[in-house]
Amino acid sequence: MSRPDPGGILADHILASLDLVEQVTRVLNLLKDNKQWFENELKILRPGYTASITIPEDVEAFIQVDQLSGFNHHFRVKFNDQVEWLLRVRKHEWGRAPPEIARQSIESEVTVLNILKQNGLPVPEAFFPPSFTKSPLDPNSPPLDYFYYEKLRGKACTQQVLYWDEPPDRNEEQVDQFIEEYAKVQIQLSNNSLPLNKIGCVYPSSRDPHGYAVGPIQTGGCFMRPLSPYLLGPFATQKERYLAHIDAALHYITHNALQASNRLSNITPVDEYLWHLELRELVCASKQLDEVPDQVFFKHADEKSDRFMVDDEQKIIGILDWEWAYVTTKAEAFAAPDDFSLRRVYLEGLNTMSYDEKKLIACYERLQRPDLADCVRNGRLYTRLTRIGLYDPGWEKSGFREAFGNDVPSDFNLPAEHVEWRVYMMKRYKDHEGLQAVMQKFGWTLARAEEETIKWYQEQEEKGQKESVVKTKLDSEDMAKDSARGQDQEEAADQLQQKAAQRGESE
């Protein structure tokens, strides 16, 4: 499809909408063409029962509902005994994932769901398609990535805990109830550690006595290789894991394939690269991230409130969307979700606890879990590290350094101003081959960075002078208005005196 306006945002939006309709229509047509295939699989999974799949006819209406489903389509499955399942199909809005990734994604999610189900967590039981376990795959199988799982009762939770600034007027009782329900779920997860010592996603394993093993991490963003084998891990320590993630980000920045590639972005690849080098040095110096776990815990990879299913009394009765879930250290698994922080304070570099984080801490202590309360208090480091691959100059860099506590290198004397920071980092990494290649590729030198610094300070000085002139002008105008008001008041007083005198003479 040709682009009539390659630089137009509206054109991009319209074309994306058209592409989405085409993609969803294709999926629905594949379902219709292979409906008998799916229903035959369901007979194998539940012998003695028949099932039907509901395939929507109205594409536009389906898209409106389906937008809330993240990276998956969901189709209702109903058996003749009224039992309901869902057919969960990976979306292909950005193209179908390579078979290697798609298969590992489904293997991991189904395995995680069934481990949690067996341990009493409120999650649906999941089922591999019968053809999935065959090798090689049946050539007649539909060109879709999918599995089946039980349909849970309830409705998606809508309680919001993420705010830019101080929470607006809200029902604190409802917030407190949600946080307590969330804490109870986390306590359940904390009671189900796995006797493993690696960080990564969990996969089925016939060779392991548990029936599962830790393998590579699956996630969005840049935490993967561009070529097979795509996925990274498993990792022995958090340091090993975060360094691998940062190195992957540095690789993509070299090819201008991260944030700076967005034509609407104000990010330069050199700044993006320098910030990840700083982060890398901080991770290398961290003692906390070097600890080897003797047990690991499940962590949901998308910790938003709408993954919870609640009943009419807002009690959590189900947890969905375990795609990309992984096992990690206790410290990371039970740090507060990113959504519990205040955006403005966090962006400005402060690591203080938000209102809702304090509520969560108090809740854990009330429920006799001070260990989980400590995970929240000390968890800001893990929240900060979720920004790997997501550099933004608007985020105050000092907040990331502070999160590392006393592990910051002693010779780290980073300037506060961004332009000076850039010069400092270029000098600090003057012998780094990767940085020199990026600087050359994108037209940067140390001399240019120093010139940019001088220019920035000149602009700030001029801006300050202009602001001073404007302030003086406004002050003068205010004084003139005050003077005019004073004269008006004096004239009014004189008039009152004259009227009073006239009344006295007449009497």
In a domain, 215, yes or no: no
In a domain, 34, yes or no: yes
For the segment 457-479, the average pLDDT, to the nearest whole number, is 71
How far apart (Å, rounded) are the C-alpha atoms in residues 135 and 139? 11
Task: Tell me what pLDDT residue 238 has.
Answer: 99
Task: Tell me what pLDDT residue 493 has.
Answer: 55
Task: Tell me what pLDDT residue 35 has.
Answer: 97
Task: Tell me what pLDDT residue 306 has.
Answer: 85
Measuring CA to CA, which residue among 157, 158, 108 is closest to residue 128? 108
Residue 473 has pLDDT above 90, yes or no: no
Task: Tell me what pLDDT residue 483 has.
Answer: 58
In the 8-state DSSP scheme, what is residue 447? H
For the segment 390-401, the average pLDDT, to the nearest whole number, is 94
Per-residue pLDDT tens digits for 341-366: 777 888 899 999 988 999 999 999 99
Task: Tell me what pLDDT residue 396 has.
Answer: 95
Residue 258 has pLDDT above 60, yes or no: yes
In a domain, 395, yes or no: no
In a domain, 90, yes or no: yes
Return the minimum-mean-pLDDT range out of 172-176, 190-194, 198-202, 365-369: 172-176
Return the minimum-mean-pLDDT range out of 101-105, 176-180, 465-469: 465-469
For the segment 194-211, the average pLDDT, to the nearest whole number, is 90
Angle at 452 between CA 446 and CA 456, to 5 degrees: 150
Per-residue pLDDT tens digits for 30-56: 999 999 999 999 999 999 999 999 999
Identify residue 158 by its one-letter amino acid code.
Answer: T
Task: Tell me what pLDDT residue 4 has.
Answer: 39
Measuring CA to CA, which residue among 110, 104, 92 is closest to residue 26? 92
More confident residue, 23 or 465: 23
Task: Tell me what pLDDT residue 58 has.
Answer: 93
Average pLDDT, the chain: 88
For the segment 121-147, the average pLDDT, to the nearest whole number, is 90
In a domain, 3, yes or no: yes
Task: Tell me what pLDDT residue 361 has.
Answer: 98
For the segment 327-350, the average pLDDT, to the nearest whole number, is 90
Task: Tell me what pLDDT residue 10 has.
Answer: 37
Task: Tell me what pLDDT residue 168 has.
Answer: 65
The residues facing 326 across adjacent strands are 299
Kind of pairing between the strands at 146-150 and 155-156: unpaired
Pair 251, 230: CB distance under 8 Å: no
Residue 336 has pLDDT above 80, yes or no: yes
Per-residue pLDDT tens digits for 97-127: 999 999 999 999 999 999 999 999 999 999 9
For the segment 479-506, the average pLDDT, to the nearest whole number, is 58
100: domain range? 1-151
Residue 263 has pLDDT above 80, yes or no: no
> Based on the structure, what is the number of domains in the chain?
1
Angle, to 10 degrees, between the axis of helix 433-441 and the axis of helix 238-254? 30
Helix (H), strand (E) counts: the chain: 16, 12
Cis peptide before 136 (omega within 30 of 0): yes
Q: Give the model's confidence band at 474: pLDDT under 50 very low, under 70 low, under 90 confident, else very high.
A: low
Quote the pTM value. Answer: 0.87
In a domain, 441, yes or no: no
In a domain, 58, yes or no: yes
Task: Tell me what pLDDT residue 19 has.
Answer: 81
List the strands of the sheet with 316-319, edge to edge: 155-156, 308-310, 316-319
Q: What percent of the chain shows pLDDT beyond 70?
A: 86
In a domain, 334, yes or no: no
How far apart (Å, rounded) are the C-alpha atoms in residues 91 and 136? 23
Q: Give the model's confidence band at 153: pLDDT under 50 very low, under 70 low, under 90 confident, else very high.
A: very high
In the 8-state DSSP scheme, what is residue 135? S
> Which helix (H) or strand (E) covers residue 51, if one does?
strand 51-53
Q: Give the model's confidence band at 14: pLDDT under 50 very low, under 70 low, under 90 confident, else very high.
A: very low
